[in-house]
Each structure stands twice: as C-alpha cells, then as structure tokens.
Amino acid sequence: MGMVVVISLPLIIFCLLLGFGCYYLGRYKGRQDTRTNAQVFGDPIPPPGFASTPPPPPHTKPDNLHSV
C-alpha cells in the first residue's frame, strides 16, 4: 500500500511568498549595507608607538647596458 501526503494549496502559496519576501528583503538590506560601509577594507593601521618606515623603492628591471 502507498502512502498519500496531502499538502494544501494555501501552504504552497505561503511558502513561495515567504521565500520571495526573504529573498528581496535580504537583497535590499545587503545593498543598503554596502552603500553605508563602502570603505570596509583598506590599509591596516600600524599600532600606536610604531615607528613608520618609508615604503621600499619600486622594483625596476635592470637595463641591458649593465650586462655589456
């Protein structure tokens, strides 16, 4: 014998509406959060009392005249 599972149509419609509502509400909140916190990642701040050193010189490729 088989088993019959009955799911009502209002329950299906409610689940679909709940899913769409959560999707759009989450998308709206996510976009609002990125708009307010645009600069989240950046250069780390050195700890207090740390002597800052100048940045290293840019890396350049040696000329071919040095190897002649």
Higher pLDDT, 25 or 48: 25
Q: Which residues contact 46 (CB under 8 A, 6 or more apart)?
A: 52
Domain that holds residue 3: 1-30
Mean of the pLDDT values across residues 34-62? 71
Q: Supply the pTM of this predicted model.
A: 0.44
Is 66 inside a domain boundary?
A: no
Is 24 inside a domain boundary?
A: yes
Is 63 inside a domain boundary?
A: no
Helix count (H) and strand count (E) of the chain? Answer: 1, 0
Mean pLDDT over all residues of the chain?
80
47 pLDDT band (50/70/90 cuts)? confident
Is 60 inside a domain boundary?
A: no
Concatenating the DSSP letter of every residue in 11-54 gives HHHHHHHHHHHHHHHHHHHHHHHHHH----S-PPPPPTTPPP-P
